[in-house]
Structure 1
Amino acid sequence: MPKQETSYWSATHSPLYSFVFTLPLFILYELGMLFLSAEDIIVLRNGADVLMRQVLGLFGIYGAYGFSATFMIGFTIAFLRQKKALKSMVIRGEYLLTMFFESILYSALLFVLLGFFQTLLMSPSSKQLFQQIILSLGAGIYEEFVFRVIMISGIAALLGLIFQWKSTARYAGGVLIAAGIFSMFHFVGDYGDTYSMNLFMIRFIAGVLLGIVYALRGFGIAAYTHTIYDLGVLTALATSENPA
Protein backbone atom coordinates (compact mmCIF):
# COMPACT_ATOMS: atom_id res chain seq x y z
CA MET A 1 0.00 0.00 0.00
CA PRO A 2 1.45 3.42 -0.91
CA LYS A 3 2.40 5.69 2.01
CA GLN A 4 -0.31 8.26 2.68
CA GLU A 5 0.91 11.84 2.46
CA THR A 6 0.02 14.19 5.31
CA SER A 7 -0.70 17.78 4.31
CA TYR A 8 1.09 20.71 5.93
CA TRP A 9 -2.12 21.93 7.58
CA SER A 10 -3.05 18.63 9.22
CA ALA A 11 0.52 17.65 10.15
CA THR A 12 1.38 20.98 11.80
CA HIS A 13 -1.88 21.00 13.77
CA SER A 14 -0.82 17.79 15.52
CA PRO A 15 0.64 17.44 19.06
CA LEU A 16 3.79 16.00 17.48
CA TYR A 17 4.68 19.20 15.63
CA SER A 18 3.54 21.37 18.55
CA PHE A 19 5.92 19.45 20.83
CA VAL A 20 8.92 19.87 18.54
CA PHE A 21 8.04 23.46 17.62
CA THR A 22 7.63 24.75 21.19
CA LEU A 23 10.62 22.89 22.63
CA PRO A 24 13.05 25.80 21.92
CA LEU A 25 10.72 28.26 23.71
CA PHE A 26 10.47 25.95 26.71
CA ILE A 27 14.25 25.48 26.92
CA LEU A 28 14.99 29.21 26.51
CA TYR A 29 12.47 30.11 29.21
CA GLU A 30 13.80 27.61 31.76
CA LEU A 31 17.43 28.49 30.96
CA GLY A 32 16.60 32.18 31.35
CA MET A 33 15.22 31.44 34.81
CA LEU A 34 18.62 30.05 35.83
CA PHE A 35 20.16 33.51 35.39
CA LEU A 36 17.67 35.18 37.72
CA SER A 37 17.73 35.41 41.50
CA ALA A 38 15.33 33.41 43.66
CA GLU A 39 13.39 36.61 44.40
CA ASP A 40 13.09 37.40 40.70
CA ILE A 41 11.78 33.91 39.97
CA ILE A 42 9.02 34.30 42.55
CA VAL A 43 8.00 37.64 41.03
CA LEU A 44 8.49 36.77 37.38
CA ARG A 45 6.87 33.38 37.08
CA ASN A 46 3.95 34.26 34.83
CA GLY A 47 0.40 33.89 36.08
CA ALA A 48 -0.50 30.62 34.39
CA ASP A 49 2.84 29.12 35.44
CA VAL A 50 2.26 30.07 39.09
CA LEU A 51 -1.35 28.85 39.00
CA MET A 52 -0.40 25.41 37.69
CA ARG A 53 2.46 25.05 40.16
CA GLN A 54 0.07 25.80 43.03
CA VAL A 55 -2.48 23.29 41.73
CA LEU A 56 0.20 20.62 41.35
CA GLY A 57 1.37 21.42 44.88
CA LEU A 58 -2.03 20.34 46.19
CA PHE A 59 -1.34 16.89 44.76
CA GLY A 60 2.14 16.73 46.25
CA ILE A 61 4.13 17.94 43.26
CA TYR A 62 6.42 20.62 44.68
CA GLY A 63 9.49 22.55 43.63
CA ALA A 64 10.18 25.36 41.19
CA TYR A 65 10.33 22.93 38.28
CA GLY A 66 7.39 20.68 39.21
CA PHE A 67 5.19 22.13 36.49
CA SER A 68 8.04 22.15 33.99
CA ALA A 69 8.59 18.43 34.53
CA THR A 70 4.86 17.70 34.36
CA PHE A 71 4.53 19.82 31.22
CA MET A 72 7.37 17.93 29.54
CA ILE A 73 6.03 14.51 30.59
CA GLY A 74 2.57 15.34 29.26
CA PHE A 75 3.88 16.65 25.97
CA THR A 76 6.27 13.69 25.62
CA ILE A 77 3.33 11.29 26.00
CA ALA A 78 1.39 13.21 23.34
CA PHE A 79 4.52 13.21 21.17
CA LEU A 80 5.01 9.43 21.42
CA ARG A 81 1.33 8.65 20.84
CA GLN A 82 1.17 10.89 17.80
CA LYS A 83 4.44 9.61 16.38
CA LYS A 84 3.24 6.01 16.65
CA ALA A 85 0.04 6.88 14.80
CA LEU A 86 1.75 8.67 11.91
CA LYS A 87 2.70 6.77 8.78
CA SER A 88 5.92 8.73 8.50
CA MET A 89 8.36 9.21 11.41
CA VAL A 90 10.04 12.20 9.78
CA ILE A 91 9.74 15.75 11.13
CA ARG A 92 9.98 18.05 8.14
CA GLY A 93 12.19 21.06 8.74
CA GLU A 94 10.45 23.13 6.09
CA TYR A 95 7.17 22.62 7.95
CA LEU A 96 8.69 23.96 11.18
CA LEU A 97 10.10 26.98 9.33
CA THR A 98 6.75 27.65 7.70
CA MET A 99 5.06 27.39 11.11
CA PHE A 100 7.43 30.07 12.40
CA PHE A 101 6.61 32.46 9.57
CA GLU A 102 2.93 31.64 9.97
CA SER A 103 3.22 32.62 13.66
CA ILE A 104 4.88 35.91 12.66
CA LEU A 105 1.96 36.61 10.33
CA TYR A 106 -0.64 35.98 13.05
CA SER A 107 1.30 38.03 15.61
CA ALA A 108 1.52 40.89 13.08
CA LEU A 109 -2.25 40.74 12.60
CA LEU A 110 -2.66 40.76 16.38
CA PHE A 111 -0.34 43.76 16.62
CA VAL A 112 -2.32 45.62 13.96
CA LEU A 113 -5.56 44.99 15.87
CA LEU A 114 -4.18 45.61 19.37
CA GLY A 115 -0.76 47.18 18.90
CA PHE A 116 -1.99 50.74 19.12
CA PHE A 117 -2.65 50.05 22.80
CA GLN A 118 0.83 48.53 23.22
CA THR A 119 -0.54 46.09 25.79
CA LEU A 120 1.49 43.09 26.89
CA LEU A 121 -0.64 39.96 27.12
CA MET A 122 1.18 38.89 30.29
CA SER A 123 1.15 40.98 33.46
CA PRO A 124 4.50 42.83 33.50
CA SER A 125 5.98 42.72 37.00
CA SER A 126 9.40 44.21 36.28
CA LYS A 127 10.79 46.96 34.08
CA GLN A 128 14.07 45.17 33.30
CA LEU A 129 14.14 44.21 29.64
CA PHE A 130 15.85 40.82 30.09
CA GLN A 131 13.29 39.78 32.69
CA GLN A 132 10.43 40.92 30.45
CA ILE A 133 11.82 38.88 27.56
CA ILE A 134 12.00 35.76 29.73
CA LEU A 135 8.45 36.40 30.93
CA SER A 136 7.28 36.72 27.31
CA LEU A 137 8.76 33.32 26.48
CA GLY A 138 7.01 31.75 29.45
CA ALA A 139 3.70 33.46 28.71
CA GLY A 140 3.69 32.02 25.20
CA ILE A 141 4.11 28.49 26.50
CA TYR A 142 2.31 28.31 29.82
CA GLU A 143 -0.55 30.74 29.25
CA GLU A 144 -1.41 29.14 25.92
CA PHE A 145 -1.16 25.69 27.49
CA VAL A 146 -3.46 26.61 30.40
CA PHE A 147 -5.92 29.05 28.83
CA ARG A 148 -6.14 27.51 25.38
CA VAL A 149 -5.25 23.80 25.50
CA ILE A 150 -6.67 22.94 28.93
CA MET A 151 -9.47 25.48 29.32
CA ILE A 152 -10.90 25.54 25.79
CA SER A 153 -10.87 21.75 25.56
CA GLY A 154 -12.27 21.33 29.07
CA ILE A 155 -14.98 23.97 28.72
CA ALA A 156 -15.97 22.67 25.28
CA ALA A 157 -16.32 19.15 26.69
CA LEU A 158 -18.41 20.48 29.59
CA LEU A 159 -20.68 22.50 27.28
CA GLY A 160 -21.17 19.45 25.10
CA LEU A 161 -22.03 17.33 28.13
CA ILE A 162 -24.50 19.83 29.61
CA PHE A 163 -26.14 21.37 26.54
CA GLN A 164 -25.42 18.65 23.95
CA TRP A 165 -24.05 21.30 21.62
CA LYS A 166 -22.35 20.34 18.38
CA SER A 167 -18.57 20.60 18.07
CA THR A 168 -18.43 24.08 16.49
CA ALA A 169 -20.81 25.64 19.04
CA ARG A 170 -19.14 24.14 22.09
CA TYR A 171 -15.65 25.11 20.93
CA ALA A 172 -16.85 28.64 20.15
CA GLY A 173 -18.26 28.81 23.67
CA GLY A 174 -14.99 27.43 25.03
CA VAL A 175 -12.97 30.09 23.19
CA LEU A 176 -15.14 32.93 24.54
CA ILE A 177 -15.28 31.72 28.15
CA ALA A 178 -11.56 30.90 28.23
CA ALA A 179 -10.78 34.35 26.79
CA GLY A 180 -12.77 35.98 29.61
CA ILE A 181 -10.92 33.95 32.25
CA PHE A 182 -7.60 34.69 30.51
CA SER A 183 -8.26 38.43 30.67
CA MET A 184 -9.52 38.44 34.28
CA PHE A 185 -6.56 36.37 35.47
CA HIS A 186 -4.17 39.23 34.70
CA PHE A 187 -5.82 41.35 37.40
CA VAL A 188 -5.51 38.72 40.15
CA GLY A 189 -2.81 38.57 42.82
CA ASP A 190 -0.12 40.84 44.18
CA TYR A 191 1.50 41.34 40.76
CA GLY A 192 -1.68 41.70 38.71
CA ASP A 193 -2.68 44.86 36.86
CA THR A 194 -5.15 47.38 38.27
CA TYR A 195 -8.54 46.52 36.79
CA SER A 196 -9.93 48.61 33.96
CA MET A 197 -12.66 47.70 31.47
CA ASN A 198 -10.54 48.88 28.51
CA LEU A 199 -7.63 46.64 29.51
CA PHE A 200 -10.01 43.75 30.16
CA MET A 201 -11.56 44.09 26.69
CA ILE A 202 -8.17 44.35 24.96
CA ARG A 203 -6.98 41.12 26.57
CA PHE A 204 -10.37 39.48 26.04
CA ILE A 205 -10.19 40.20 22.30
CA ALA A 206 -6.60 38.94 22.25
CA GLY A 207 -7.74 35.79 24.05
CA VAL A 208 -10.47 35.21 21.47
CA LEU A 209 -8.03 35.68 18.58
CA LEU A 210 -5.44 33.38 20.16
CA GLY A 211 -8.20 30.87 20.87
CA ILE A 212 -9.14 30.87 17.19
CA VAL A 213 -5.48 30.38 16.24
CA TYR A 214 -5.26 27.45 18.69
CA ALA A 215 -8.50 25.86 17.46
CA LEU A 216 -7.54 26.14 13.79
CA ARG A 217 -3.74 25.77 13.90
CA GLY A 218 -2.83 24.07 17.17
CA PHE A 219 -0.93 24.85 20.35
CA GLY A 220 2.53 25.39 18.84
CA ILE A 221 1.57 28.21 16.50
CA ALA A 222 -0.63 29.82 19.18
CA ALA A 223 2.30 29.79 21.63
CA TYR A 224 4.69 31.40 19.14
CA THR A 225 2.06 33.95 18.08
CA HIS A 226 1.61 35.00 21.72
CA THR A 227 5.37 35.17 22.35
CA ILE A 228 6.21 37.09 19.16
CA TYR A 229 3.42 39.58 19.83
CA ASP A 230 4.69 40.25 23.37
CA LEU A 231 8.27 40.62 22.12
CA GLY A 232 7.06 43.02 19.43
CA VAL A 233 5.28 45.18 22.01
CA LEU A 234 8.38 45.12 24.24
CA THR A 235 10.46 46.32 21.29
CA ALA A 236 7.96 49.09 20.51
CA LEU A 237 7.89 50.23 24.13
CA ALA A 238 11.69 50.15 24.46
CA THR A 239 12.04 52.16 21.24
CA SER A 240 9.50 54.78 22.33
CA GLU A 241 11.11 55.14 25.77
CA ASN A 242 14.63 55.41 24.36
CA PRO A 243 14.38 57.24 21.01
CA ALA A 244 17.54 57.48 18.94
Structure 2
Amino acid sequence: MIWPFWSGRKLLALPGRTPAELVDYFRDTRHPVASLLVVVPLLALYEATVAGISADGRASPRNGADAWIRNLVPELGQSSTHLPPLVIIVVLTILVMPRWRDFPSRWGTLCFGLVAECLGWSLALWGLSLGWPGIVKNSGVELSWFDRAAPQFASLTPLIGAGIYEEFLFRLVALGVLNGLASLIGVGGLAGWMVAAVVSSWFFGAVHHWGPQGQQYSALLFSFRFFAGLGLCFLTRYRGFSIAVGTHFLYNLIIGLRPMFATP
Protein backbone atom coordinates (compact mmCIF):
# COMPACT_ATOMS: atom_id res chain seq x y z
CA MET A 1 0.00 0.00 0.00
CA ILE A 2 1.34 3.45 -0.86
CA TRP A 3 1.54 6.18 1.73
CA PRO A 4 2.64 9.43 0.02
CA PHE A 5 4.66 12.12 1.72
CA TRP A 6 6.19 15.09 -0.05
CA SER A 7 9.84 15.87 0.69
CA GLY A 8 10.93 18.79 -1.45
CA ARG A 9 10.33 17.68 -5.02
CA LYS A 10 10.42 13.97 -4.22
CA LEU A 11 7.44 11.84 -3.38
CA LEU A 12 8.22 9.34 -0.65
CA ALA A 13 6.02 6.26 -0.36
CA LEU A 14 5.85 4.01 2.69
CA PRO A 15 5.85 1.05 2.71
CA GLY A 16 4.92 0.65 -1.00
CA ARG A 17 7.31 2.43 -3.34
CA THR A 18 5.77 1.93 -6.78
CA PRO A 19 2.29 2.08 -8.33
CA ALA A 20 2.69 -1.63 -9.04
CA GLU A 21 2.76 -2.33 -5.30
CA LEU A 22 -0.50 -0.46 -4.85
CA VAL A 23 -2.11 -2.45 -7.66
CA ASP A 24 -0.78 -5.67 -6.14
CA TYR A 25 -2.13 -4.72 -2.72
CA PHE A 26 -5.65 -4.04 -3.98
CA ARG A 27 -5.57 -7.37 -5.80
CA ASP A 28 -4.03 -9.31 -2.91
CA THR A 29 -6.66 -8.28 -0.33
CA ARG A 30 -9.23 -10.08 -2.49
CA HIS A 31 -7.18 -13.28 -2.56
CA PRO A 32 -8.68 -16.02 -0.34
CA VAL A 33 -5.33 -16.50 1.39
CA ALA A 34 -5.66 -12.94 2.74
CA SER A 35 -8.96 -14.03 4.28
CA LEU A 36 -7.20 -16.94 5.97
CA LEU A 37 -4.50 -14.54 7.16
CA VAL A 38 -7.16 -12.49 8.99
CA VAL A 39 -9.63 -15.20 9.98
CA VAL A 40 -7.36 -17.92 11.41
CA PRO A 41 -5.72 -15.80 14.18
CA LEU A 42 -9.08 -14.25 15.18
CA LEU A 43 -10.75 -17.65 15.12
CA ALA A 44 -8.00 -19.14 17.30
CA LEU A 45 -8.27 -16.24 19.78
CA TYR A 46 -12.06 -16.51 19.92
CA GLU A 47 -12.21 -20.29 20.38
CA ALA A 48 -9.39 -20.29 22.95
CA THR A 49 -11.11 -17.56 24.97
CA VAL A 50 -14.47 -19.35 24.86
CA ALA A 51 -12.81 -22.62 25.91
CA GLY A 52 -11.01 -20.91 28.80
CA ILE A 53 -14.16 -19.24 30.09
CA SER A 54 -16.21 -22.43 29.75
CA ALA A 55 -13.54 -24.40 31.60
CA ASP A 56 -14.04 -22.12 34.62
CA GLY A 57 -17.70 -23.14 34.77
CA ARG A 58 -19.03 -19.84 33.48
CA ALA A 59 -21.60 -19.58 30.70
CA SER A 60 -20.09 -19.81 27.23
CA PRO A 61 -19.99 -16.27 25.78
CA ARG A 62 -20.47 -17.33 22.17
CA ASN A 63 -21.46 -14.87 19.50
CA GLY A 64 -25.04 -15.04 18.26
CA ALA A 65 -24.12 -16.15 14.73
CA ASP A 66 -21.88 -18.86 16.15
CA ALA A 67 -24.73 -20.09 18.36
CA TRP A 68 -27.16 -20.03 15.41
CA ILE A 69 -24.83 -22.21 13.35
CA ARG A 70 -24.39 -24.66 16.23
CA ASN A 71 -28.15 -24.81 16.80
CA LEU A 72 -28.60 -25.94 13.20
CA VAL A 73 -26.87 -29.20 14.06
CA PRO A 74 -27.86 -29.92 17.71
CA GLU A 75 -27.97 -33.67 17.04
CA LEU A 76 -24.18 -33.68 16.68
CA GLY A 77 -23.84 -32.87 20.37
CA GLN A 78 -20.29 -32.43 21.59
CA SER A 79 -18.89 -33.41 18.21
CA SER A 80 -20.17 -30.09 16.85
CA THR A 81 -17.80 -28.09 19.09
CA HIS A 82 -15.11 -27.78 16.45
CA LEU A 83 -17.40 -28.02 13.41
CA PRO A 84 -18.18 -24.31 12.76
CA PRO A 85 -14.55 -23.07 12.84
CA LEU A 86 -13.48 -26.11 10.84
CA VAL A 87 -16.14 -25.40 8.20
CA ILE A 88 -14.95 -21.79 7.87
CA ILE A 89 -11.32 -22.81 7.44
CA VAL A 90 -12.19 -25.59 4.98
CA VAL A 91 -14.36 -23.27 2.85
CA LEU A 92 -11.66 -20.59 2.70
CA THR A 93 -9.02 -23.22 1.93
CA ILE A 94 -11.14 -24.57 -0.94
CA LEU A 95 -11.42 -21.02 -2.30
CA VAL A 96 -7.62 -20.71 -2.14
CA MET A 97 -6.94 -23.83 -4.21
CA PRO A 98 -7.95 -22.46 -7.66
CA ARG A 99 -5.70 -19.44 -7.06
CA TRP A 100 -2.67 -21.09 -5.50
CA ARG A 101 -0.47 -19.93 -8.40
CA ASP A 102 -1.05 -16.22 -7.78
CA PHE A 103 -0.30 -16.00 -4.06
CA PRO A 104 0.56 -12.52 -2.74
CA SER A 105 4.28 -11.79 -3.06
CA ARG A 106 4.52 -8.73 -0.82
CA TRP A 107 3.42 -10.07 2.55
CA GLY A 108 4.70 -7.10 4.54
CA THR A 109 2.78 -4.64 2.41
CA LEU A 110 -0.32 -6.84 2.57
CA CYS A 111 -0.26 -7.19 6.37
CA PHE A 112 0.41 -3.50 6.99
CA GLY A 113 -2.22 -2.48 4.47
CA LEU A 114 -4.84 -4.84 5.89
CA VAL A 115 -4.47 -3.40 9.38
CA ALA A 116 -4.45 0.21 8.18
CA GLU A 117 -7.35 -0.16 5.76
CA CYS A 118 -9.53 -2.15 8.16
CA LEU A 119 -8.88 0.45 10.85
CA GLY A 120 -9.86 3.22 8.46
CA TRP A 121 -13.12 1.53 7.43
CA SER A 122 -13.97 0.64 11.05
CA LEU A 123 -13.49 4.25 12.14
CA ALA A 124 -15.72 5.36 9.27
CA LEU A 125 -18.37 2.87 10.37
CA TRP A 126 -18.06 4.07 13.95
CA GLY A 127 -18.46 7.66 12.76
CA LEU A 128 -21.60 6.60 10.90
CA SER A 129 -22.99 5.00 14.05
CA LEU A 130 -22.32 8.17 16.04
CA GLY A 131 -24.12 10.22 13.42
CA TRP A 132 -27.10 7.87 13.29
CA PRO A 133 -29.86 9.70 15.24
CA GLY A 134 -29.41 8.66 18.87
CA ILE A 135 -28.28 5.13 18.00
CA VAL A 136 -25.25 4.94 20.26
CA LYS A 137 -26.50 7.24 23.02
CA ASN A 138 -29.96 5.69 23.33
CA SER A 139 -29.54 2.12 22.13
CA GLY A 140 -25.87 1.33 22.64
CA VAL A 141 -25.52 -0.79 19.48
CA GLU A 142 -23.37 -3.67 20.79
CA LEU A 143 -22.96 -2.24 24.29
CA SER A 144 -25.63 -4.54 25.72
CA TRP A 145 -22.92 -7.22 25.92
CA PHE A 146 -21.04 -5.26 28.55
CA ASP A 147 -21.12 -4.55 32.22
CA ARG A 148 -20.38 -0.86 31.85
CA ALA A 149 -19.20 -0.49 35.42
CA ALA A 150 -16.56 -3.20 35.13
CA PRO A 151 -15.97 -4.35 31.54
CA GLN A 152 -13.77 -7.42 31.29
CA PHE A 153 -11.85 -9.11 28.48
CA ALA A 154 -14.38 -11.94 28.51
CA SER A 155 -17.05 -9.44 27.50
CA LEU A 156 -15.16 -8.81 24.26
CA THR A 157 -15.35 -12.47 23.27
CA PRO A 158 -18.73 -12.33 21.45
CA LEU A 159 -17.53 -9.28 19.55
CA ILE A 160 -14.45 -11.14 18.31
CA GLY A 161 -16.70 -13.93 17.09
CA ALA A 162 -19.11 -11.51 15.38
CA GLY A 163 -16.47 -10.29 12.98
CA ILE A 164 -15.84 -13.87 11.86
CA TYR A 165 -19.12 -15.77 12.06
CA GLU A 166 -21.48 -12.98 10.99
CA GLU A 167 -19.31 -12.11 8.01
CA PHE A 168 -19.03 -15.77 7.03
CA LEU A 169 -22.76 -16.37 7.42
CA PHE A 170 -24.15 -13.18 5.85
CA ARG A 171 -21.44 -11.87 3.51
CA LEU A 172 -19.88 -15.10 2.23
CA VAL A 173 -22.58 -17.80 2.43
CA ALA A 174 -25.92 -15.94 2.30
CA LEU A 175 -24.73 -13.35 -0.21
CA GLY A 176 -23.29 -16.05 -2.46
CA VAL A 177 -26.36 -18.29 -2.25
CA LEU A 178 -28.79 -15.41 -2.85
CA ASN A 179 -26.71 -14.18 -5.77
CA GLY A 180 -26.86 -17.66 -7.27
CA LEU A 181 -30.62 -17.84 -6.79
CA ALA A 182 -31.04 -14.42 -8.41
CA SER A 183 -29.08 -15.65 -11.43
CA LEU A 184 -31.31 -18.73 -11.68
CA ILE A 185 -34.43 -16.58 -11.97
CA GLY A 186 -32.83 -14.38 -14.61
CA VAL A 187 -31.50 -11.51 -12.50
CA GLY A 188 -27.79 -11.77 -13.13
CA GLY A 189 -24.76 -9.52 -13.05
CA LEU A 190 -24.61 -6.48 -10.80
CA ALA A 191 -28.41 -6.28 -10.53
CA GLY A 192 -28.59 -9.81 -9.12
CA TRP A 193 -25.76 -9.07 -6.72
CA MET A 194 -27.51 -5.90 -5.52
CA VAL A 195 -30.71 -7.84 -4.84
CA ALA A 196 -28.69 -10.43 -2.90
CA ALA A 197 -26.90 -7.69 -0.93
CA VAL A 198 -30.18 -6.01 0.05
CA VAL A 199 -31.83 -9.28 1.12
CA SER A 200 -28.82 -10.55 3.09
CA SER A 201 -28.44 -7.15 4.79
CA TRP A 202 -32.13 -7.20 5.74
CA PHE A 203 -31.64 -10.59 7.38
CA PHE A 204 -28.46 -9.32 9.05
CA GLY A 205 -30.39 -6.45 10.61
CA ALA A 206 -33.50 -8.45 11.47
CA VAL A 207 -31.95 -11.58 12.95
CA HIS A 208 -30.53 -9.64 15.91
CA HIS A 209 -34.14 -9.10 17.07
CA TRP A 210 -35.35 -12.68 16.66
CA GLY A 211 -35.82 -15.32 19.34
CA PRO A 212 -35.78 -15.14 23.13
CA GLN A 213 -32.17 -13.90 23.17
CA GLY A 214 -32.77 -11.21 20.56
CA GLN A 215 -32.70 -7.51 21.31
CA GLN A 216 -35.95 -5.59 21.57
CA TYR A 217 -36.84 -4.27 18.13
CA SER A 218 -35.61 -0.77 17.41
CA ALA A 219 -36.01 0.92 14.04
CA LEU A 220 -32.76 2.79 14.64
CA LEU A 221 -30.82 -0.38 15.43
CA PHE A 222 -32.34 -2.30 12.53
CA SER A 223 -31.76 0.46 9.99
CA PHE A 224 -28.17 0.99 11.13
CA ARG A 225 -27.36 -2.70 10.89
CA PHE A 226 -29.08 -2.91 7.50
CA PHE A 227 -26.99 -0.12 6.00
CA ALA A 228 -23.84 -1.33 7.77
CA GLY A 229 -24.54 -4.75 6.27
CA LEU A 230 -24.81 -3.20 2.81
CA GLY A 231 -21.49 -1.46 3.34
CA LEU A 232 -19.85 -4.71 4.40
CA CYS A 233 -21.31 -6.41 1.31
CA PHE A 234 -19.62 -3.80 -0.88
CA LEU A 235 -16.35 -4.24 1.02
CA THR A 236 -16.56 -8.00 0.48
CA ARG A 237 -17.15 -7.58 -3.25
CA TYR A 238 -14.68 -4.82 -4.03
CA ARG A 239 -12.06 -5.06 -1.28
CA GLY A 240 -12.24 -8.69 -0.25
CA PHE A 241 -13.62 -10.83 2.56
CA SER A 242 -10.45 -10.16 4.57
CA ILE A 243 -11.24 -6.43 4.70
CA ALA A 244 -14.87 -7.05 5.67
CA VAL A 245 -13.88 -9.36 8.55
CA GLY A 246 -11.15 -7.04 9.79
CA THR A 247 -13.42 -3.99 9.59
CA HIS A 248 -16.25 -5.71 11.48
CA PHE A 249 -13.83 -6.97 14.15
CA LEU A 250 -12.14 -3.59 14.70
CA TYR A 251 -15.47 -1.75 14.74
CA ASN A 252 -16.75 -4.10 17.44
CA LEU A 253 -13.49 -3.65 19.33
CA ILE A 254 -13.86 0.14 19.23
CA ILE A 255 -17.44 -0.12 20.49
CA GLY A 256 -16.43 -2.69 23.12
CA LEU A 257 -13.43 -0.82 24.51
CA ARG A 258 -15.18 2.54 24.57
CA PRO A 259 -16.81 2.03 28.01
CA MET A 260 -13.41 1.14 29.49
CA PHE A 261 -12.05 4.58 28.67
CA ALA A 262 -15.22 6.59 29.16
CA THR A 263 -15.08 9.35 31.73
CA PRO A 264 -17.86 9.71 34.31
TM-score (norm 1): 0.85
Please, which of 220, 237, 252 is the counterpart of residue 215 of structure 1? 237
TM-aligned CA deviation for residue 89 of structure 1: 6.8
Whether the 8 Å contact between 1:103 and 1:221 is mirrored in structure 2 is: yes
Match of 1:48 in 2: 65
Larger Rg over CA atoms: 2
Going from structure 1 to structure 2, the CA distance change for 1:98 and 1:121 (only over 3 Å counts) comes to: farther
**How do 1:107-126 and structure 2 match up within 5 A?**
107-116=122-131, 117-118=135-136, 124-126=144-146
For structure 2, the residue ranges without an aligned partner over 5 or more in a row are 1-20
Pairwise CA RMSD of aligned residues?
Answer: 2.6
Residue 82 of structure 1 pairs with residue 99 of structure 2: yes
TM-aligned CA deviation for residue 227 of structure 1: 0.9
Larger deviation, residues 137-146 vs 112-121: 112-121
Measure, in 2, the Cα distance between the counterparts of 1:106 and 1:157: 28
TM-aligned CA deviation for residue 239 of structure 1: 2.8
Please, which of 98, 112, 117 is the counterpart of residue 102 of structure 1? 117
Match of 1:139 in 2: 162
Q: Which amino acid aligns with 1:73?
A: V
Whether the 8 Å contact between 2:201 and 2:230 is mirrored in structure 1 is: yes
Going from structure 1 to structure 2, the CA distance change for 1:11 and 1:62 (only over 3 Å counts) comes to: same
Task: Give % identity.
Answer: 27
Residue 36 of structure 1 pairs with residue 53 of structure 2: yes
Match of 2:214 in 1: 192
Q: For each residue in 1:102-152, what CA deviation from the matched residue of structure 2 results, as whole angstroms up to 9, or x when unmatched? A: 101111111111135336765844534322311111100010000100111
Going from structure 1 to structure 2, the CA distance change for 1:120 and 1:99 (only over 3 Å counts) comes to: farther
Measure, in 1, the Cα distance between the counterparts of 2:216 and 2:153: 23
Measure, in 2, the Cα distance between the counterparts of 1:171 and 1:225: 21
Number of residue equivalences: 234
Q: Which amino acid aligns with 1:224?
A: G
Measure, in 2, the Cα distance between the counterparts of 1:132 and 1:214: 27
TM-aligned CA deviation for residue 57 of structure 1: 4.2
Q: For each residue in 1:149-204, what CA deviation from the matched residue of structure 2 results, as whole angstroms up to 9, or x when unmatched? A: 01111111111111x22311111111111111001111122321111112111111
TM-score (norm 2): 0.79
Whether the 8 Å contact between 2:28 and 2:104 is mirrored in structure 1 is: no
Q: Tell me the secondary structure at the aligned position of residue 173 of structure 2.
A: helix
For structure 1, the residue ranges without an aligned partner over 5 or more in a row are none
Q: Tell me the secondary structure at the aligned position of residue 53 of structure 2.
A: coil
Going from structure 1 to structure 2, the CA distance change for 1:19 and 1:183 (only over 3 Å counts) comes to: same
TM-aligned CA deviation for residue 39 of structure 1: 4.5
Match of 2:11 in 1: none
Q: For each residue in 1:210-232, what CA deviation from the matched residue of structure 2 results, as whole angstroms up to 9, or x when unmatched? A: 11111111111101101111111
Q: For each residue in 1:54-87, what CA deviation from the matched residue of structure 2 results, as whole angstroms up to 9, or x when unmatched? A: 224468894322212222222222233432x42x
Whether the 8 Å contact between 2:29 and 2:240 is mirrored in structure 1 is: yes
Residue 183 of structure 1 pairs with residue 202 of structure 2: no
